[in-house]
Amino acid sequence: MQINIGSFLSKRANHSPNLEALVIGDLRLNYKELNERANQLAHALKGQGVKRGDRVAYLGLNEPEFIEMYFGMAKLGAILVPVNFRLAPPEVQYIINDCQASLLVVGPDFFPVIAAIKDDICCKRTYALGDAPPDWASSYNDLVRSASTDELEHIGGDDDTLTILYTSGTTGKPKGAELTHSGYYAESVNLKATLGDVGVRMLMPLPLFHIGALAPVPHCVQFGMTMIFQRAFDPANFLHLLATENISWFGSVPQVLMFLRSVPQFETFDWSSIRMALVYAAPVPVTLIKEFAEKGMNVRQLYGMTECTGPAAVIDSEKAIVKAGSTGPAMFHCEIRLVDDQGKDVPTGELGELLLLTTHPMKGYWNNPQATASTIIDGWIHSGDIAKMDEDGYLYILDRKKDMIISGGENIYPAEVEDTLLSHPAIADVGVIGVSDEKWGEAVKAVVVLNKDQALSQEELIEWCRDKMARFKTPKEVVFTEEIPRTPTGKILKRVLRDQFNQ
């Protein structure tokens, strides 16, 4: 039997037509309605000449049209390319042209971005969401409105590419990870096998161009869950949805949890009905895990990569506090290794680069065989992340290999220093980088955002650090700023920090 992700929605609509499928804003769709919309989109694109293997790009917020495109294009055998909406126009242009998208769908919030590059992108047609498309685009609503809702023949599947997700590009040009039908299926099975019963209503605040938001979608459909999405993250609305939508679990990044603390209702919010929060994309500060645990929230840190269609390791609920800071053992259908620079396995407790062997790896990087060959070696995905493993097989992610600071021959992992600094009551956010130092080669520099109405000097913070961490890890310099530059999923843009503050 061929695996086509579009068939997931067709079968769920047949088995559970009246089950609520999707909630975004005021729109509520059951599975029958969502499947019909996906069929309309598939028929409409087929009428525009889109065929198996063709790429269609999407630039927009978490709109219902994205979900119908994901499943509709799967049925058609076409490839969806979600574009990071935080990118500047030249970066959007690069992705659209790199994947050679034949069509583009754009949301109203990003009309100005496409207007700036419309003459320099390869798309044959552009379709605009909303009721007032600009003169350079056609109406998406008009495209799908009159199309048939009938089921069409499903084309392709298995190892065919379903989506191309471009990595965040924190160093150089982003690379497009090709994720397949069979990969999304195996990822869905892996989540179920590892997490077990998490309930039937998911809330997702993260953008759908990120694997952390997209990977749960086929999982929810396969196992009959309701998906509640925020168009864009809003902390107060997020708490409101948790309270009113009977949410059983949600996805998050550390920044989401940090922002929730600023909502007035946070202190009195009852977390007892929520079974689980999966937090990923960046190391979760231990202080944050413990703070939510004290309020009754089960925070489970998960580690994954776009290149393996999402999850690879996750902490179990019983160990979330006992082993706070760990991202757990490998997931049910995944294996992990830690190796040194010569590719040899490192002993328990020692640091090494994390390698992943999974049932749901990417096919490769789009049109980039050299990068693919250096990332996937003998089936193992080389993550570029530095980690250690304890005697129970629990993984601790230290940092990106490329962000490691070497000071006087000592290896320093910025995430470890950041975690300690975040425990200071005056600090709201922090990024740590290495700067040139004549004596030691590199020294630690902390870029700090203070909580509102808090004051702290460089000297005070350095003194506070002296009994909290080794001397070579203690920041030599501290600078204060208004905001730490981050990707939409919470990763600190160390390259930007270094450009701004490595002086």
Question: What's the pLDDT score for residue 298?
Answer: 87
224: alpha, beta or left, given left = phi > 0 and alpha = psi -120 to 50?
left
Backbone angles phi, psi at 374, to 5 degrees: -85, -10
Angle between helices 181-195 and 5-15 (to 10 degrees): 60
Q: Taking 80 as the threshold, does the pLDDT of residue 23 lie above it?
A: yes
Q: Which residue from 134, 122, 8, 20 is spatially nearest to 72, judged by alpha carbons?
A: 8
The pLDDT tens digits for 192-242 are 999 999 999 999 999 999 999 999 999 999 999 999 999 999 999 999 999
* DSSP-assigned beta bridge partners for residue 443: 435
d(CA 184, CA 158): 10
Among 7-21, 261-275, 378-392, 461-475, name the most confident range.
7-21
Q: How far is CA 474 from the centre of its chain?
A: 31
Categorize the per-residue pLDDT at 325 as very low, low, confident or very high, splitting at 50, 70 and 90: confident
Q: What is the mean pLDDT of residues 410-419?
A: 78
Read off the pLDDT of each residue in 119-147 and give the average, rounded to a whole number: 96
Could you give the 3-state DSSP secondary structure of residue 45?
A: helix
- Both tokens of residue 398? 């230290």
| Confidence grade of residue 171 (pLDDT, cut at 50, 70, 90) | very low
Q: Which domains, ranges and CATH numbers included, belong to the chain?
A: 5-18+27-157 (3.40.50.12780), 182-401 (3.40.50.12780), 405-501 (3.30.300.30)
Q: Kindly state the average pLDDT of the residues 142-171.
A: 90
Token pair belonging to 210: 């990120």
What mean pLDDT value characterizes the chain?
A: 92
Q: How many separate helices (H) and strands (E) can be counted in the chain?
A: 16, 26
Is residue 356 classed as helix, strand or coil in its secondary structure?
strand
Is residue 419 within 8 A of residue 283, CB to CB? The reply is yes
| Model pLDDT for residues 333-370, shown as the tens digit of each residue | 999 999 998 999 999 999 999 999 999 999 999 999 99
**What pLDDT shows up at residue 98?**
97
Looking at per-residue confidence, does 133 or 418 come out higher? 133
- pLDDT in the model for residue 488: 63
pLDDT at 76: 98
At residue 317 the predicted structure's pLDDT band, cuts being 50, 70 and 90, is confident
pLDDT score at 170: 44
3-state DSSP of 224-261? CCEEEECCCCCHHHHHHHHHHCCCCEEEECHHHHHHHC
User: What was the pLDDT predicted at 408?
Assistant: 67
pLDDT computed for residue 468 by the predictor: 80
DSSP letters along 403-465, please?
A: G-EEETTEEE-HHHHHHHHTTSTTEEEEEEEEEEETTTEEEEEEEEEEPTT----HHHHHHHH
Q: Is the pTM of this model over 0.75?
A: yes
Q: What is the 3-state secondary structure (H, E, C) of 456-487?
A: CCHHHHHHHHCCCCCHHHCCCEEEECCCCCEC
- Mean pLDDT value of segment 172-185: 91
- pLDDT the model gives residue 410: 66
Tell me how far CA of residue 363 lies from CA of 58, 161, 213, 374, 379, in angstroms: 21, 8, 20, 13, 11
Structure confidence by residue, pLDDT tens digits, 271-309? 888 999 999 877 777 888 888 888 888 889 999 999 999
- The count of residues in the chain is 503
Tell me how far apart the alpha carbons of residues 332 and 193 are, in angstroms, rounded to a whole number. Answer: 6
Q: Bridge partners of 81? A: 57
CA distance 473 to 459: 15
CA dist., res. 165 & res. 152, Å (int): 26
Q: What is the pLDDT of residues 34-89, one digit of tens each?
A: 999 999 999 999 999 999 999 999 999 999 999 999 999 999 999 999 998 888 78
